[in-house]
Amino acid sequence: MGASTEVQTELRTLTGWGRTAPTTARVISTDNIDEIAGAVRTAGPRGVIARGLGRSYGDSSQNAGGLVVDMTALDKVHLINVDEATVEVDSGVSLDTLVRRLLPYGLWVPVLPGTRQVTVGGAIGADVHGGNHHTQGSFCNHVLWMDLLTADGQVRRLTQDDDVFWATAGGMGLTGIVLRAAIRLKRVETSYFLADVEQTDNFDELLERLQDNDDQYTYSKSWFDSLITGERMGRGTLLRGWPAKLEDLPKKLRKDPLKFDAPQIFTAPDIFPNWCLNKFTAKIINEAYYRMGATRFGSVQNITQFFHPLDLVGEWNRGYGSNGFLQYQFVVPFGQEPFLRTTMEKISSSGHISCLNVLKRFGAGNSGHISFPEPGWTLAVDIPIKPGLHRLCDELDEMVLDAGGRLYLAKESRTRAETIEKMYPRIDEWRKIRAAVDPDGVFISDQSRRLAL
């Protein structure tokens, strides 16, 4: 590595995807690794954190008064090895770009979260999961190696045999800056998916269907209505399926079976008032979503339909208004099915509204010390910010703790340090590794300060 070169910084006010708790930091953006290393070495007392596309919901890629490295300039796909089904890629490359580049070779990203607008570095830092966690695990399961820029300005190549690898997987950027990674890919015949869509009449039926035959599907997720009451409380829709083979496609799609078919309709303007999502509009949205989920088996769906319906609208978070929203996501062990219903009923009766309620099953976790997934049920709800929400979430935190569960750091935006301490039993082990690789605490974020990570 050559001599460091000073790079210009820009003062920017940043938020997470939930648009809450804005803070201002000096931001650099460069594809020159020497410049990034120099910035890390001279970051100053407020430290530094890397930032990708800003899709963590809270304050994990913010650093008030300090330095933030915008990694999106480091955006090269270096090597696609078709024979080995691997790719070497800069950490600032988005999963959207990666999917587009890989599909012509019949290759597929092994794990996709709820949006493709996530960088590879962000996917590693949050150890993201998708609808196939019960069959394929989370993102870092498929990372062969990563190059980590550490606090001393050096670059260290990590493999899965290294404890620092697993401290970085799900470590929210607090061990260093991931610069490049090699990822093991999946082979596909098409860019489409065979989907089984099933409506369920109530929450009990939804849980029963998910437990009965979920393991036969590569991908699985479900949505439910948290507003309707009575016998149909928690009515929902299951969306499950597999990658489609060439023979599964209708003739018109066989002409270009690996086409990147993932449209975006428009970008939402930043004009929505905070009251836009209320009980009346939420009921309309829920009814429409439920009707769209009419039962059908073996339907062919494109990438957006199957994975990312929200990516149809760019900047869709603006729909919650300037106050923003939070996503509350937790995992609880199998056997806690009654707890899921209790949680749904508590949110439904609280006066707070959520339209995006996603329930999935997790498979085995990996060796990540503070990686989120573990065997059990994960539930995510999006709730607009309004008075009383913090109190509701504090109560939910205690319930999740009592059920043996934990919150997802990539979605978390308001809990207490002592809560996270109790939820992650290996957090002290992680802290020891982090202290060894970054003894002066150079890598720091608003979230890590708030949670004493």
State residue 5's pLDDT score. 53
pTM over 0.85: yes
Quick: pLDDT tens for 423-435: 999 999 999 999 9
Quick: pLDDT tens for 386-415: 999 999 999 999 999 999 999 999 999 999
Whole-angstrom distance, CA of residue 139 vs CA of residue 406 = 19
Whether the domain at 73-188 and the domain at 193-417 fall into the same CATH topology: no
- Tell me the C-alpha to C-alpha distance, in Å, between residue 317 and each of 100, 156, 237, 435: 24, 36, 23, 36
Quick: pLDDT tens for 180-238: 999 999 999 999 999 999 999 999 999 999 988 899 999 999 999 988 888 888 899 99
Element (H, E) at 6: none
Q: Which amino acid is at 177?
A: I
- Tell me the C-alpha to C-alpha distance, in Å, between residue 138 and each of 41, 124, 157, 257, 302: 32, 9, 20, 27, 22
On whether the CB atoms of residues 336 and 402 are closer than 8 A, the answer is no
Q: Taking residues 271-295, what's their average pLDDT?
A: 83
Among residues 123, 110, 114, the alpha carbon closest in space to that of 53 is found at 123
Whole-angstrom distance, CA of residue 212 vs CA of residue 196 = 14
Q: Taking residues 104-122, what's their average pLDDT?
A: 97
Q: Which fold has domain 193-417?
A: Vanillyl-alcohol Oxidase; Chain A, domain 3 (3.40.462)
Task: Concatenate the DSSP letters of all residues of 187-221 into one string.
Answer: E-S-S-EEEEEEEESSHHHHHHHHHHHGGG-SEEE
What does the buried/exposed string (b/e) look like for 266-292 if buried means 16 or more CB atoms within 10 Å of the residue's CB? Answer: eeeeeeeeeeebeeeebeeebeebbee
Q: Taking residues 291-314, what's their average pLDDT?
A: 88
State residue 143's pLDDT score. 98
State residue 3's pLDDT score. 47
State residue 276's pLDDT score. 84
State residue 8's pLDDT score. 85
State residue 212's pLDDT score. 85
Tokens 């929200």: give the residue.
Answer: 310
Domain ranges of the chain: 73-188, 193-417
Question: Could you tell me the maximum CA-CA distance found in the chain, to the nearest angstrom?
Answer: 68
- Torsions phi, psi for 38 (to 5 deg): -65, -40
Within 391-433, strands assigned E span 406-407
pLDDT grade for 4, boundaries at 50, 70 and 90: very low
On whether the CB atoms of residues 87 and 81 are closer than 8 A, the answer is yes
Quick: pLDDT tens for 87-103: 999 999 999 999 999 99
Whole-angstrom distance, CA of residue 120 vs CA of residue 95 = 6
Residue 263 pLDDT > 80, yes or no? no
State residue 228's pLDDT score. 82
Whole-angstrom distance, CA of residue 76 vs CA of residue 388 = 45
CATH of 73-188, one of 1.10.10.10, 3.30.465.10, 1.25.50.10, 1.10.260.40: 3.30.465.10
State residue 75's pLDDT score. 97
Quick: pLDDT tens for 28-71: 999 999 999 999 999 999 999 999 999 999 999 999 999 999 99
Mean residue pLDDT across the chain: 94
Provide the 8-state DSSP code for 421: H
Whole-angstrom distance, CA of residue 57 vs CA of residue 413 = 7
